[in-house]
């Protein structure tokens, strides 16, 4: 239908450019590199954006979906830059942005019984192509924290809670999600497991009690660990404790650029 008007390409006289315009929250299958099984297939929530110059009224939303469908079954970190380049070309944009938010599963063994179970971690890949390709890997890791103050002042016990440590990194060489998650778990009062027998529960309870940590302690411990990984150029660490004796959360955040690296 060649005579149909293209309103998106019509001019806009308000002289206002838009930073991001596109489609949001698409559920789509992707492939993630798995350290032990080569690949893990999962379903992501996908956000796709480009910039919109001031002279254009709108963008062609259908073209985002067309680009996504061209990579059906093969969307991964390995071809994210190619997807972004095609988004720029198809949408006639200077900058493209892609977010993949997905569950990732790791098999864990209970510390005493050895019982096996899968634990879910919420992860994200963020890619931007604006002259240069920028990639950020993110993982949110559930852990246990036990309050040092509660332990110090109480005659019996100490309050503990579930915590989530969210880490974002930029790196010069591939970092496995499994390694990043383990580094964070080792910095908490205790790890979280989806399956524990009684002997396991005894151990993790005592382990947390012997390793009390404030939210500030965990952020600093993860910082010390990430500083030792040469491939990591930049990181942001956020920790939230869902307090068991308060109706609010405790929170800490730290961001660091390694000297001599570009973030």
- For residue 99, give the CATH number of its domain: 3.10.270.10
- Is a pLDDT exceeding 60 seen at residue 6? no
List pLDDT tens digits, range 237-248.
Answer: 999 999 888 889
The answer to whether residue 238 sits within a structural domain is yes
Among 27, 38, 37, 187, which residue's Cα sits nearest to residue 101?
27
The answer to whether residue 9 sits within a structural domain is no
The answer to whether residue 4 sits within a structural domain is no
**Across residues 206-222, what is the average pLDDT?**
96
Strand partners, 242: 249
**Across residues 50-64, what is the average pLDDT?**
86
- Write out the residue range of the structural domain in which residue 166 sits: 15-257
- Looking only at the bridges linking them, the beta strands covering 190-191 and 132-146 are antiparallel
List C-alpha distances in Å: 186 to 53, 74, 160, 207, 249. 47, 33, 17, 12, 22
The answer to whether residue 3 sits within a structural domain is no
pTM: 0.90
The answer to whether residue 119 sits within a structural domain is yes
**Across residues 196-216, what is the average pLDDT?**
96
Measure CA of the first residue to CA of the last residue in the chain; give whole Å.
47
The answer to whether residue 10 sits within a structural domain is no
CA dist., res. 67 & res. 20, Å (int): 17
Which pLDDT score, from 0 to 100, does residue 25 have?
96
Tell me the two tokens of residue 97. Answer: 């942005």
Task: Give the Cβ contact number of residue 131 at 10 Å.
Answer: 8
The answer to whether residue 1 sits within a structural domain is no
The answer to whether residue 7 sits within a structural domain is no
Q: How many domains does the chain have?
A: 1
Q: Do the Cβ atoms of 56 and 76 come closer than 8 Å? A: no
Q: Do the Cβ atoms of 171 and 137 come closer than 8 Å? A: yes
The lowest-confidence range among 28-42, 119-133, 198-212 is 28-42
Model confidence at 1, pLDDT cuts 50, 70, 90, reads low
């Amino acid at each position: 239908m060649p005579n149909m008007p293209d309103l998106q390409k019509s001019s806009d006289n308000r002289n206002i450019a838009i930073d991001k315009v596109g489609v949001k929250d698409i559920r789509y299958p992707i492939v993630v590199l798995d350290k032990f099984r080569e690949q893990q297939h999962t379903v992501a929530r996908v956000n796709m954006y480009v910039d919109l110059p001031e002279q254009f009224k709108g963008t062609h939303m259908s073209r985002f979906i067309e680009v996504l469908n061209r990579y059906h079954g093969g969307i991964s970190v390995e071809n994210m830059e190619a997807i972004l380049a095609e988004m720029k070309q198809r949408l006639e944009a200077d900058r493209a942005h892609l977010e993949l938010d997905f569950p990732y599963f790791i098999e864990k063994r209970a510390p005493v019984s050895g019982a096996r179970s899968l634990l879910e971690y919420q992860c994200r890949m963020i890619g931007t192509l604006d002259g240069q390709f920028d990639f950020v890997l993110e993982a949110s890791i559930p852990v246990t924290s036990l309050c040092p103050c509660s332990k110090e002042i109480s005659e019996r016990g100490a309050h503990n809670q579930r915590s989530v440590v969210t880490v974002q990194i930029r790196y010069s060489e591939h970092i496995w999600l499994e390694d990043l998650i383990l580094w964070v778990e080792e910095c908490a009062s205790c790890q979280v497991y989806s399956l524990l027998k009684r002997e396991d529960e005894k151990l993790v309870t005592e382990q947390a009690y012997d390793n009390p940590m404030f939210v500030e302690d965990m952020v600093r411990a993860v910082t010390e660990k990430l500083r030792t990984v040469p491939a990591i150029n930049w990181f942001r660490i956020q920790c939230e404790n869902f307090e068991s004796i308060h109706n609010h959360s405790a929170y800490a955040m730290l961001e660091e650029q390694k000297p001599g690296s570009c973030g």
